[in-house]
Structure 1
Amino acid sequence: MLRVGVHVSISGGIYRSFDRAKDLGCNCFQIFSHSPRSWKFNIPDKKDSKRFVKKSNGNDVEPLVIHGSYLVNLATPKDGLREKSIKSTQKEIDFSNKVGIDYVNIHPGAHTGSGETQGINNVISSINQIQGLDETELLVENTSGSGTTVGYNFKQIKEILDRVDRDIGVTLDTCHAYTAGYDLGSKSGLEKTIEEIEETIGIDKIKLIHLNDSKNPLNSNKDHHEHIGLGKIGVKGMERIINHPKLKDIPFILETPIDDQRGDEENIETVKKLRNKG
């Protein structure tokens, strides 16, 4: 079954995310639990939380995903920032456990000059301090490799998975992978990427796919998402990803632009059409 959704707003109450997702044709979706550019964490009140749980129980919409704050940097050498990042992620996990969110997705962060080895060590030690991962699962997202970010290849992701003492998963972002050097736009490149995933982290560890085309070319290390099929990965590349036997049953969450060309609904329809062609 095709599971496809987008990032939806929680404005006016977190429970309203279900209605917005339904209107767009989603059967899974992603939210921010609070402003992603602020450390201020306004936990939804009991009434809103109960409504959210009720909506969740009454709809065939899964998985439900929280995307962590953009400010979180678990790889940083700065103790104060890393402590704030751990606390922020812990709050996301605590809230997710409370209302039945399936996954909390995080970017591993940037080492900002301390080196990749130290950055990855910081990510691992940070995740090992987070509690409550038995119900809600933490997902580490691959990055484009821009700046000093870590987690841009599957070898680094594997090291994180192997050394974290809890069971965590992976979000595969197609735009990030492409601009990090994985040629998802070609048939042979996709097969080679899947082979590398199987040899390192394992396909079973990919619990979510952020399905995004790329405005920028292969190996550019730039993180600019494009509408499905209108970027450098292209229509055929997206079609192969959406229909690949080893990927097609993994939920797809789109983080594509909203502009004069398309909105979320049009991109979802594009995914559904490409699935039907496969």
Structure 2
Amino acid sequence: MLHIGCHLSVSQGFLHMGREALSLGADTFQFFTRNPRGGNVRPLDIEDMQALNALMEVHHFAPILAHAPYTLNGCSKTEKTRDFARRAMKEDLERLEYLDHCRYNFHPGSHVGQGAETGITLIADMLNECLWPEQKTTVLLETMAGKGTEVGRNFEEISAIIEKTTLSDKLGVCLDTCHVFDGGYDIVGQLEEVLHQFDSTIGLSRLKAIHINDSKNSLGSHKDRHEKIGQGQIGIEAFTAIINHPALRDLPFYLETPNDLAGYAAEIAMLRRLQQA
């Protein structure tokens, strides 16, 4: 069975998101932990979170994915920005402990001219400050397209962050199809080779989630502009191969395509039809 969902708004609460996901034909979903362009966070509603836990158990949800705000940049050259990143991540992780089967995804950040090596060290420092041995939420580093001074533009940079993190058993990776394609990994013509490279550099056991997005731009463009499934440069044939690949087919997939809810429902139904028995 294909485990798939889309990005939903947390504004109406956790139980509402769970019900909305079911109405779209999904068995998981993604949400922002706080304002994606700022620092505001919803009041903690433990009862609502527990109600979602019960709903997910009844309907056999795949792990849901909490997404950190875009403003979280643990490798900024500005101490104030790094401090916000540390505080926001720690607070997010503490709140997510009330949810069952939830993972936490974040963009590694931008080194802003300091160099990738410095950025990698600063990101690992943040993780070493925020992670604790008893936490149940796995933290996922997202693969990036490599625009500007982004860290995580290739598998080697993701691996270096993991290696510098003391509690690396708490870390995994979210592979974004648009990002890796824009970053120069040919998942259209060389999917096997890309997965082999991921496995030899990071390890496929670290791969815990996939952001499934088409790309408006060509291979290696470093642009990061998402497109609807089958309407971009990756194409429906490649996505059919991705969702049916033995190393990927059992992972949860999360749509971040430019869609409304009806569009997400149509994409979810289409991808379910494309999954082979």
With the shorter chain as reference, the TM-score category is over 0.9
Report runs of 4+ in structure 1 exceeding 4 Å deviation. Answer: none
Q: Is the 8 A contact 1:182 1:219 kept in 2?
A: yes
2:21 is equivalent to residue 21 of structure 1:
yes
* Structure 1 unaligned blocks of 5 or more: none
Q: CA–CA distance in 1 between the matches of 2:186 and 2:70? A: 26
Q: CA–CA distance in 2 between the matches of 1:24 and 1:131? A: 34
- Which of 185, 195, 204 is 1:182 aligned to? 185
Q: How does 1:1-278 map to 2 (within 5 A)?
A: 1-132=1-132, 134-166=135-167, 167=169, 168-186=171-189, 189-258=190-259, 263-276=263-276
Q: CA–CA distance in 2 between the matches of 1:71 and 1:244? A: 34
Write out per-residue CA displacement over residues 176-222 of structure 1, whole angstroms, 9 at most, x where no aligned residue.
00000001111xx2111011011110111000011111011101001
Amino acid at match of 2:6: V
Task: Give aligned-pair identity as a percent.
Answer: 35
Q: CA–CA distance in 1 between the matches of 2:99 and 2:195? A: 34
Deviation at 1:124, TM superposition (A): 0.8
Q: Is the 8 A contact 1:228 1:270 kept in 2?
A: no
Q: Is the 8 A contact 1:74 1:82 kept in 2?
A: yes
3-state DSSP of counterpart to 1:149: coil
3-state DSSP of counterpart to 1:55: helix
Q: CA–CA distance in 2 between the matches of 1:43 and 1:155? A: 38
Shifted more, 99-108 versus 174-183: the winner is 99-108
Amino acid at match of 1:3: H
Deviation at 1:259, TM superposition (A): 5.8
Q: Is the 8 A contact 2:50 2:98 kept in 1?
A: no
3-state DSSP of counterpart to 1:91: helix
* Structure 2 unaligned blocks of 5 or more: none
Q: TM-score, with normalisation over the residues of structure 2?
A: 0.94
